[in-house]
Chain A
């Protein structure tokens, strides 16, 4: 069992969880994920590790409550335990000194972006970060990202914080103002990653994305997470989760994420009416 050491609310339906998992904390590298299962009949869901504390033997996960499992997690209290936390899984982010790095995070995707940005900065790169969300209260980890970046730009769809507009508008502005980047890392909803990649491909900036397909075991056994990258089919769990964004078939990824949309909706409705809980919001993309 893995104990919840700390939980805090970062935004509407967005929670930070710190679980005791000393082996995972010790061996995890930026970019890797865990499989979480919260009770005996629970599903196995992949969550990228946002941070670790080796001394405490803990890992940090940041999760938006959008489906039955994540809503049930939101009900957890400090001291509660979950039966499964497996990892660190997947290949780590390739970190090296390349020069000027652009980190783009959207919504909950800022959580996995943070360790990658920090590692890129620690490796001696100049890091410019763009954080985007629909509204100000959905921007998370802004202080940590500011520390991990040389420059930080915030964009919101409604203009409640930073520049009004999309992250792609901010990228275009930077480049129009003469900024040059050797590498881009984009993490967020698939639709955001898709449009960032369309733009960075035009701009000639190599781009890494972190994908979040549906998984079951997370160890290469089921093939549920297969994604098309260039002309190859890859398993995100063992070949990824990070890939060359310019080669990823995002439309297929988004379609596959919707495989169980109606079952997830039914499970959620059943749970919500049963537990009488209220959703602050429903978000696009996987409703786990």
Chain B
């Protein structure tokens, strides 16, 4: 088949659960490709000589390489190729914003003048990861000589898991300290079951355990063990404690009953399995009508979770317009399909309670778009006198998170930015404290899973060099990280 013929093949859609059915269950929405679908989709890749898609991947997966193996029906080979660069492919295939990364750079999308018609790299990644997991065969990576070096990873989220997997493969002893009772960070407490089934996260964590990573749960570093002791006891430390501090709107009535942060709502629903109450012991606020404030992926997750918790009406209230929503198009599309109502250019200014202290409504002001602000988006400006009361039984605040201050606060020598992020060398992840590296949302602020994993990947390489050479000063130039090698 020549390139021209390949370009003519339309994208293969992934079957999805019917919206009407899926709002009453927690099962995953996209159902996955069959082998035939995957092989057909793989045919659409023209194997560009210069693979721009790889440039768009924060962890530099050999994308044409694994797609060729799928086309040839060598799924095992494709899985092996992917795991060279990405130890957590089942998660990335589901939650990466591929339309802004690999698929944005895909030649096919450019030729068809529609990035939505690029090769479905994310869906193929998911297919191959699921296929590999379902085989149930564990393949031990090539064994390496123990380096005798010990590394502590603080936080078992996407950044920390990536660092742990990479460093154990380099032959170092790795212990991951996790504050919660499960590994995965935002993958287990935040992202809902219907978007990322928890058994998939668990199986990727199990894989890391099998290749030698040790996990210590219920360990809040800075509390259970002082940071100083961790720094003294280990040859290198990676801090990946995430952006776990919820932001609130700072409006009157925000402490009323029935007003929750997105983190609380999702943690109860996901990690604590509140959907299974009273079988599981953790309850959750339910309401016939639920408002979620915000326009990102987390807001979509909350609004869609509310439907599954029995809400008859689930509203997104967002102060800007739909084009300016930071959520992925796919998430907005799924939310709309399920019946989430989008109330755009609106902003709550005050929450109103009943005589028992429960929220009964939000006073909302209408907005219009003014001049562009520092983010380049047109600034929403309140329309004076447009306030009205939107009645509600519950309100979820999903307007973002700040870096979790717990570790930085218990670590006086560690340099942080004005907004609480840890300051690092962008190439190596080195912090102001020798031997200590950091990455993910504790550096970036609330970003994405794959960016955190990209940080983890870069830091792991730098940590490996630091551990073998002892060199701290000018580690970045020693690393000789070319852009072609790691993006």
Q: Is the CB of A41 within 8 A of B280?
A: yes
In chain A, residues 201-251, which have Cβ atoms closer than 8 Å to a Cβ of chain B? Answer: 216-217, 219-224, 226, 228, 233, 238
Partner of A43, one of B217, B224, B282: B282
Contact among A68, A87, A220, A270 with B244 in the assembled complex (CB-CB below 8 Å): A220
A195 within 8 A of B: no
A13 interfacial by beta-carbon distance below 8 Å: no
Are B263 and A221 in touch, CB under 8 angstroms? yes
- Say yes or no: is A189 at the interface (Cβ < 8 Å to chain B): no
**Contact (Cβ within 8 A) B405 A270:** no
Set of chain A residues within 8 Å of B10, measured between Cβ atoms: none
A263 touches B255 (CB 8 A): no
Report if A223-B268 is in contact (Cβ < 8 Å); known contacts: A41-B276, A87-B223, A260-B283: no
Q: Which residues 69-87 of A sit at the B interface, judged by CB distance below 8 A? A: 69, 83-87
| A59: min CB distance to chain B, Å | 12
| Chain B hits for A41, CB < 8 A | 273, 276, 279-281
Closest chain-A Cβ to B446's Cβ sits at a distance in Å of: 12
Interface residue total, chain B, C-beta cutoff 8 A: 42
Per the bound structure, the CA–CA distance linking A68 and B277 in Å amounts to: 12
Q: Which B-chain residue is minimally distant from A37 (CB atoms)?
A: B181
* A283 surroundings in chain B (CB, below 8 A): none
For residue A219, which residues in chain B have a CB less than 8 angstroms away from its CB?
179, 220, 244, 404, 406
Distance of B352 from chain A, by nearest CB (Å): 15
Residue in chain B with minimal CB distance to A235: B245
Chain B 212-254 interface residues, beta-carbon cutoff 8 Å to A? 217-220, 223-226, 244-246, 248, 254
Q: How does the 8 Å CB contact mask read for B307-344 relative to A, with 1 for contact and 0 for none?
A: 00000000000000000000000000000000000000
**Known A-B contacts A216-B264, A260-B283; A221 and B255 likewise in contact (beta carbons under 8 Å):** no
User: With A41-B281, A217-B179, A233-B254 known to touch, is A223 a contact of B248 (CB < 8 Å)?
Assistant: yes
Identity of the chain B residue whose Cβ is nearest the Cβ of A67 in the assembled complex: B281
A43 to B277, CA, bound (A): 10
**Which residue on A lies nearest to B264, using beta carbons?**
A222
Does B224 contact A223, Cβ atoms closer than 8 Å? no
Interface size class of A (residues with CB under 8 A): 35 or more
Which partner residue on chain B sits nearest A2 by CB separation?
Answer: B218
Q: Give the number of residue pairs across the A-B interface with Cβ within 8 Å.
A: 115
- The answer, among A42, A222, A233, A255, for a CB contact under 8 Å with B357, is A255
Q: Which residue of B lies closest to A39 (CB)?
A: B281
A126 in contact (CB, < 8 A): no
Known: A219-B244, A223-B261. A270 touches B278 (CB 8 A): yes
Complex-state Cα separation, A23 to B336, whole angstroms: 49
Say if the beta carbon of B428 comes within 8 Å of chain A: no
Query: What does the 1/0 interface line of B272-299 toward A look like (CB < 8 Å)?
Result: 1100111111110100000000000000
Per-position 1/0 for B160-184, Cβ under 8 A of A: 0000000000000000000111000
Question: A32 contacts which chain B residues (CB < 8 A)?
Answer: 223
B32–chain A nearest beta-carbon distance, Å: 28
Complex interface: chain B residues within 8 A of A83 (CB): 181
B267 close to A (CB within 8 Å): yes
B189 cross-chain contacts in A, Cβ below 8 A = 217, 221
* Set A24, A43, A217, A259: member contacting B285, Cβ < 8 A: A259
Is B257 positioned at the interface, with any CB of A under 8 Å from its CB?
yes
Interface residues of B in 404-422 (CB under 8 A from A): 404-406
Closest Cβ neighbor of B265 among chain A residues: A222
Given contacts A27-B224, A86-B224, A255-B357, is CB(A222)–CB(B267) below 8 Å? yes
Judged by a CB distance under 8 angstroms, whether B356 is at the interface is yes
The yes or no answer to B260 lying at the interface (CB within 8 A) is: yes
Looking at chain B's contact residues, is the secondary structure mostly helix, strand, loop, or mixed?
Answer: loop
- Is A267 an interface residue, CB under 8 A from the partner? yes
Tell me which residues from 19 to 72 in chain A have a Cβ below 8 Å from any Cβ of chain B. Answer: 23-24, 27, 32, 35, 37, 41-44, 68-69
Residue of A nearest to B281 (CB): A43
In the complex, the answer to whether A259 meets B257 with C-beta atoms within 8 Å is yes
> Please, which residue of chain A has its CB at the minimum distance from the CB of B225?
A23
Residue on B nearest A249 in the bound complex, by CB: B255
Q: Does A153 contact B (CB under 8 A)?
A: no
Docked Cα-Cα span, A46 to B270, in Å, equals 20
B374-420, CB < 8 A from A: 404-406
Q: In the bound complex, do residue A263 and residue B278 qualify as a contact, i.e. CB atoms below 8 Å apart?
A: yes
Taking CB atoms, residues of chain A closer than 8 Å to B356 are 255
Q: Is the CB of A89 within 8 A of B223?
A: yes
In angstroms, Cα B224 to Cα A100, docked, is 32
For the complex, is A88 an interface residue (Cβ under 8 Å from B)?
A: yes
Report the Cα distance A44→B280, complex, angstroms: 11
> Is B405's CB under 8 angstroms from A220's CB?
yes
What's the least CB distance linking B334 to chain A, in Å?
A: 25
Closest to B266 in A: A222
Contact (Cβ within 8 A) B224 A256: no
CB distance from A35 to the nearest CB of B (A): 8
* Chain A positions 269 through 288: 1 when the CB is less than 8 Å from some CB of chain B, otherwise 0: 01000000000000000000
Which residues does chain A contribute within 8 Å of B223, judged by CB atoms? 27, 32, 87-89
Q: Which B residues are in CB contact (< 8 Å) with A84? A: 181, 217-218
Say if the beta carbon of A161 comes within 8 Å of chain B: no
Contacts of B276 in A (CB 8 A): 41
Assess whether A220 is in contact with B224, with CB atoms less than 8 Å apart: no
Residues of A contacting B272 in the complex (Cβ-Cβ under 8 angstroms):
43-44, 216
Q: Which residues of A contact B245 (CB under 8 A)?
A: 220-221
A137 at the interface (CB under 8 A from B): no
CB-CB nearest in chain B for A69? B281
Q: Does A160 sit within 8 A of B, measured CB to CB?
A: no
A238 to B258, CA, bound (A): 22
Looking at B272, B285, B356, the one whose CB has the most chain A CB atoms below 10 A away is B272
Task: Select A266's contact among B224, B254, B278, B405, beta carbons within 8 Å.
Answer: B278
Task: Give the residues in chain B near A191, CB-CB below 8 Å.
Answer: none
Residues in B with CB closer than 8 Å to A157 are none
Q: Which residues of A contact B406 (CB under 8 A)?
A: 219-220, 238
Proximity bits, A132-145, B CB within 8 Å = 1, else 0: 00000000000000
Contacts of B225 in A (CB 8 A): 23, 27
Q: What residue of chain B has the Cβ atom nearest to residue A84's Cβ?
A: B181
Q: A41-B280, A263-B278 are in contact. Are A256 and B267 (CB under 8 A)?
A: no
Closest partner residue, chain B, to A23 (CB atom): B224
**Residue pair B404, A220 in contact (C-beta under 8 Å):** yes
Q: Within the complex, which residue of A43, A88, A228, A258 is in contact with B255, where a contact is CB–CB below 8 Å?
A: A228
4 further A-B contacts with Cβ under 8 Å, apart from A83-B181, A222-B246, A228-B255, are: A27-B224, A43-B280, A220-B244, A226-B248
Give me the interface of B with A, judged by CB distance under 8 Å.
179-181, 189, 217-220, 223-226, 244-246, 248, 254-255, 257-258, 260-261, 263-264, 267-268, 272-273, 276-283, 285, 356-357, 404-406
Provide a sorted-by-A list of 13 A–B residue pairs whose CB atoms are within 8 angstroms. A27-B223, A41-B280, A41-B281, A68-B278, A68-B281, A87-B223, A88-B223, A216-B272, A221-B267, A223-B248, A252-B357, A256-B257, A258-B257
For the complex of A and B, the 4 pairs showing the least CB-CB separation, nearest first, are A263-B283, A222-B264, A255-B357, A43-B281
